[in-house]
Amino acid sequence: MRISPARAWLLFALLCAAGIFNAMDRPIIAILKPDMSAEFGWSDADFGRLAAITQFAAACSFLFTGWMIDRLGVRRSLLVGVTAWSIAAAAHGWASTGWQVVAARIGLGATEAVQTPLTIKTVATLFGTKMRSLAIGAGTLIAALGTIALPFFIPFLAANWGWRGSLIFAGAGGFVILALWWVAARGIVFDDKAEDPALDYADDGRPYGPILTERRTWAVVVAKAISDSTWWLLNFWLPDFYRRVFGLSTEGLAKPLAIAFLGSGLGALFAGWLSGRLIERGWVPARVRRAVMLGSALLVLPVPVVLGFGNLWAVATMMGVVLAAHQGFSLSIFATITDIVPRSKVGRVTAFGAFCGNLGGVAIVWVTGEVLAGGAGYVPVFVFAAVSYLIAFAWLRVMLPAGPKAAVEG
């Protein structure tokens, strides 16, 4: 059965909506940290370890989820993925001890890693080549709007149902979206095993080993690990920073967090537009990638000065700039992968990069908890954040001195 464009967009929009519920767990935990810490007696170090464990579970899952989705196809992968992460989210509601929360977090971290490869697989299945970029852009927009809305919505849930009820709501929402998707997909046979000649993607079937011996692989994945650290630092610890410095309530976090994540979405949009414009004007892709990465790194450099700001909105604006710069840097790293890696290995190098980026997140959220527990405040980690992108850029320049113009040999 041929899928009409309207039906394809409906199915994709429902998947993106499921992704919003999938993403709710991180801001819920960060925003409701005081409530959970009071109940379980957690210190800042304990909270940092909890965030790191979740991140580590997600990181490890990236090594397997892409393979699983290719084997199961869109329909069965969505059933397995949404069911698994919805159960894991709802399981928090019945956690009565700290260790039960940790178990639920591990399950959620492991299952939420399905979302990204499932989204890309669905785009490739539902849309033709000309529409795929638009679909990915629309999915990114939906995710950004969901992230911006969550800081306004979560306090309402917590005020009425508590932190447990908020996470049960996230799990229940996933099941509702899954049911709607299943009804909308009735009668459709997904042609997700077919080859797409436009992609010219011939997987040689070899394991990770061959890509791990390549200098260019390590160029991009180490840069990803270093630069993603600042992204995860702000995702997990920014609500706590606002509380400490400005004494914000849970409800008061909504607007400054929305500003930060709006900056993230606009940064991705602008970096993609700018890269395309520069290439249209005759810049070679390698030069474009370097220029966008360097400009992004320089935008992050002043971030420690927010520690001296007394104005919440000035700080929130600066955090928005930092997250916008991150998206520009990250987009350029992924574009560099497509420049230097043959198509038969792009999937594995990208997955390995996501794995290493998440390991960087594990390290920074853990270390931040220890630093705060030791009384050093946010100064050390903000100084690291300021230079992290320049370090990643320097690493790429050393490992790819001629720029990303040669492909990894097949």
Taking only the tens place, the pLDDT of each residue in 123-133 is 767 776 455 54
Same domain, 215 and 174: no
Does residue 293 sit within a domain? yes
Name the residue range of residue 151's domain: 1-188
Same domain, 37 and 158: yes
Region of residue 357 (left: phi > 0; alpha: psi -120 to 50; beta: else):
alpha
Overall average pLDDT of the 143-165 stretch: 75
Overall average pLDDT of the 203-218 stretch: 65
pLDDT at 338: 66
pLDDT for residue 212 is more than 90: no
Same domain, 163 and 216: no
pLDDT at 82: 86
Residue with the bigger pLDDT between 46 and 402: it is 46
pLDDT at 48: 78
Same domain, 40 and 184: yes
Question: How many separate domains does the chain show?
Answer: 2
Does residue 254 sit within a domain? yes
| Backbone φ and ψ of 2, nearest 5° | -75, 135
pLDDT at 347: 60
Least-confidence region, from 61-65, 224-228, 339-343, 399-403 = 339-343
Average pLDDT of the chain is 79
End residue of a domain, out of 137, 158, 188:
188
Overall average pLDDT of the 379-397 stretch: 95
Assess contact for 350 and 120: CB atoms under 8 A. no
pLDDT for residue 389 is more than 80: yes
Q: Quote the CA–CA distance of 263 and 261 in Å, as a whole number.
A: 5
Q: What is the CATH number of the domain that holds 48?
A: 1.20.1250.20
Region of residue 308 (left: phi > 0; alpha: psi -120 to 50; beta: else):
alpha
pLDDT at 408: 45
Q: Quote the CA–CA distance of 328 and 292 in Å, as a whole number.
A: 7
Q: What percent of the chain has pLDDT over 70?
A: 81
Same domain, 155 and 220: no
Overall average pLDDT of the 315-338 stretch: 86
| Backbone φ and ψ of 287, nearest 5° | -70, -40
Same domain, 217 and 278: yes
Does residue 336 sit within a domain? yes
Least-confidence region, from 67-71, 355-359, 369-373 = 67-71
pLDDT band at 168 (very low <50, low <70, confident <90, very high): confident
Same domain, 81 and 229: no
pLDDT for residue 321 is more than 90: yes
End residue of a domain, out of 188, 218, 239:
188
Same domain, 148 and 294: no
Does residue 196 sit within a domain? no
Does residue 197 sit within a domain? no
pLDDT band at 318 (very low <50, low <70, confident <90, very high): very high
User: CB neighbours (10 Å) of residue 310?
Assistant: 8
Same domain, 386 and 241: yes
Does residue 410 sit within a domain? no
Residue with the bigger pLDDT between 170 and 76: it is 76
Does residue 107 sit within a domain? yes
Identity at 336, one-letter amino acid code: T
pLDDT for residue 398 is more than 60: yes
Least-confidence region, from 82-91, 147-156, 207-216, 324-333 = 207-216
Same domain, 375 and 301: yes
Does residue 6 sit within a domain? yes
Q: Quote the CA–CA distance of 122 and 78 in Å, as a whole number.
A: 9
pLDDT at 269: 75
Same domain, 218 and 137: no
Q: Quote the CA–CA distance of 132 and 110 in Å, as a whole number.
A: 27
pLDDT for residue 346 is more than 80: no
Least-confidence region, from 276-280, 308-312, 386-390 = 276-280
Q: Encoding tokens for residue 139?
A: 């999915």
pLDDT at 204: 46
pLDDT in tens, 231-290: 889 988 898 899 888 988 877 888 888 888 788 878 877 887 787 778 778 888 888 889
| Three-class DSSP category at 307 | helix
Q: Quote the CA–CA distance of 325 and 193 in Å, as a whole number.
A: 37
Same domain, 127 and 256: no
pLDDT in tens, 19-39: 777 766 666 777 777 888 888
pLDDT at 330: 84
Q: What percent of the chain has pLDDT over 90?
A: 15
